[in-house]
Chain A
Amino acid sequence: MRATLSVLSRFLFVVIGIILVSAFVGMFTISGIHLKWNVFIQNVLDIVMSLIFPDRLIILGPTQFEYSIFLNFWDYYLYSLTIFLSALFISFVVGLFITYFTILLPKKLNNHISKIVSLLESIPDLFIIMIIQFTVIYYLNVTGDLLFPVAGSSRTKTYFLPIIALSLIPAFMIYRINLHLVNEEWEKSYVELARSKGHNKTFIFFNHVLRNITPSLFSHSKMIVLYLLSSMVIFEKLFNIYGIFTFIITYPNPNVIAFTLIMFFVPVFVLYAIITNLIEKQTGKRLEW
């Protein structure tokens, strides 16, 4: 219960932060730059009103005709959310499994691998996107089949490539954190005891070590979420995804920005509330994040 409350209060803080920043952005985007306090306060009031009465969320179409954003908002929203959540999920699963395979390797190799991964992790995401897009196009040129659609359009949506490209670097990050945590855990005496009783590494990893590192891994996951979020902006542009960030860039009204971002965080926070509760029940540790 207390865990849920702490997630809720964190969510409230994030909402306030987003409202204030959106109001600040509003001083720039609405018809020129007006750096005045009354404009700022006006924007804040406007955003709060729009959050209470969603009818006020209005955008100007290309023909200067006003219409509500809910005409096509949910399409954009669900598309982005699908890509975001699946990338998060895949990067965790992949990160965990590579850690498992590294544990099976001899100890000396382990150190070298973690050094290489820490370099790989800092490769810019743009480089990875470029290589992936180029490979698919090259394959298309040579053989004539398009493996996966490289870019989406308003009619056909592309899922596979963006999700894979988006989850690659977070998977490396999770792998590095995980490897560090597991190596620390592996020195502890209970692992030695389990080994001496004849359990193999697979059993110990999945039954004992994984359970013990979950809380620390989870507290690092905020960094991953934030990283994914700021990469999404670029991915939507380069893969031509009609998602929420494209929506925000096209219609930069302060109330639309605030509403979209807050809506995007609701599922993330629900997920976090559930997981913190589960971890508290399983391990008795209450997590701050």
Chain B
Amino acid sequence: MNLMKKLLLNKLFLTGFVIISGLFLVSIFYFIVFKDHIPTTSLLFAADGKPLPAPYSFKKFPPFGTDGFGRHLLIVMIVGTKYTIAAALIITFLRVFPSIIFGLILHFYFNKLERPIKSMVDSLNYFPMTLLAYLLLNVILIQDVSMILVDGALVEGAQPLPYWNRVVLFIIILASLFVPTNSVLIANEVKIIMNKEFIECSRVLGATNWRIVSKHIKPFLVPQIAIIFIRDFIQSLILMSHLAVLGLFIGGYYFREDLFGQTQKVSLSNEWAGLLGMWWEFLWTTYPWISFIPILFITILILSAKGMMEGLKVELALMDNLRETPLKKENLLLPENLAPFERIRNYSK
């Protein structure tokens, strides 16, 4: 409780938290009040009666202008916010919480297998995750039935899955790719805590595994998991935007005619990563600001999460400092230079 109060007084943490939750709440508010209605401008004409081409400038429709269908981009971004943040949060949740359980199981029940499992998982890192996720999802998320040539005859390929199955599979696969690494990380951490003296005392007094986990390991592990959670949130956002550039995003696309009757791909959920992937091409046209909008929003989101993480680290280091004999301020370990788990190591020295 005390930590929460301190965090809310920390400037960096508060700024990040207010930005993220503010964006999310605005999006939810828009959903409840306006039912996600996106205002559209129909074709505009110049004074001499000639039609003006569709993406209208941000000067005419502040603040962001419209896209090729005349949709107002600010509203499109607001509608997409809740899906982006929710998807990233769910992915992060599925990445972190199963790995806590697996990490504990790995430590307590598979003690002998620990070394081979760890080196196996470590070697998995050398397969680029973006590539792995792309190769797996590219097959699962197909939307059009492709024709395959088998023995000289055209055969219909696999049928596309229904919409919600695709969304769920996207989230589960992105999450499960990182569970092994996170589990090993947490197992390592539990091992360090278990080597402390007070655990041995507790064992001698007859504590069971469950009591040690819930009474002794939990207070050390929870702050670390909070840091890992924010770090994974950032990584999930980056991975989602990378996949979107390669053409895969939550919900997929549908085809729609623009104001001039040409069919174009449109993101179904208007989620930011998907918009980024689809609007990248505008960079080469005379409307380059359109492609900057989604990446700017994603960057703001990532930087706010980073700010929350830095604030959390500073407050945790201050708390450790109070618990130990108070050091002078200049001897305080500068927390921003430490990897998530090095904090405990320093504390235990």
Chain A partners chain B: yes
Binding site for B on A (CB under 8 A): 13-14, 16-18, 21-22, 25, 28-29, 31-33, 64, 111, 114-115, 118-119, 122-127, 130, 133-134, 137-138, 176-177, 179-180, 226, 229-230, 232-234, 237-238, 245, 248-249, 252, 257, 261, 265
The residues of B that contact A234 with a CB separation of less than 8 Å are 130, 242, 245-246
A18 & B337 in contact (Cβ 8 Å cutoff): no
The residues of B that contact A232 with a CB separation of less than 8 Å are 128
- Report if A25-B136 is in contact (Cβ < 8 Å); known contacts: A17-B123, A232-B128, A233-B130: yes
Q: Of residues A130, A176, A248, which shows the largest number of chain B Cβ atoms within 10 Å of its Cβ?
A: A130
B295 & A252 in contact (Cβ 8 Å cutoff): no
The residues of B that contact A22 with a CB separation of less than 8 Å are 127
Majority secondary structure, A binding face: helix
A80-B52 Cα distance, complex, nearest whole Å: 44
Q: Specify the chain B residue showing the minimal Cβ separation from A248.
A: B131
The residues of A that contact B124 with a CB separation of less than 8 Å are 17, 21
A-B Cβ contacts below 8 A, count = 133
| Ranked 3 nearest A-B pairs via Cβ | A17-B123, A180-B337, A230-B128
Q: Does B86 contact A (CB under 8 A)?
A: no
A203-B157 Cα distance, complex, nearest whole Å: 67
Query: Nearest Cβ distance between residue A77 and chain B, in whole angstroms?
Result: 16
A126 & B140 in contact (Cβ 8 Å cutoff): no
A123 & B299 in contact (Cβ 8 Å cutoff): yes
A257-B134 Cα distance, complex, nearest whole Å: 13
Q: Does B186 contact A (CB under 8 A)?
A: no
Q: Specify the chain A residue showing the minimal Cβ separation from B125.
A: A226
A246-B163 Cα distance, complex, nearest whole Å: 28
- CB < 8 Å: which of B120, B139, B148, B303 contacts A13? B120
Q: Does B306 contact A (CB under 8 A)?
A: yes
B276 & A126 in contact (Cβ 8 Å cutoff): yes
B128 & A14 in contact (Cβ 8 Å cutoff): no
CB contacts under 8 Å to A, within B162-198, are none
A127 & B135 in contact (Cβ 8 Å cutoff): no
The residues of B that contact A123 with a CB separation of less than 8 Å are 299, 302-303
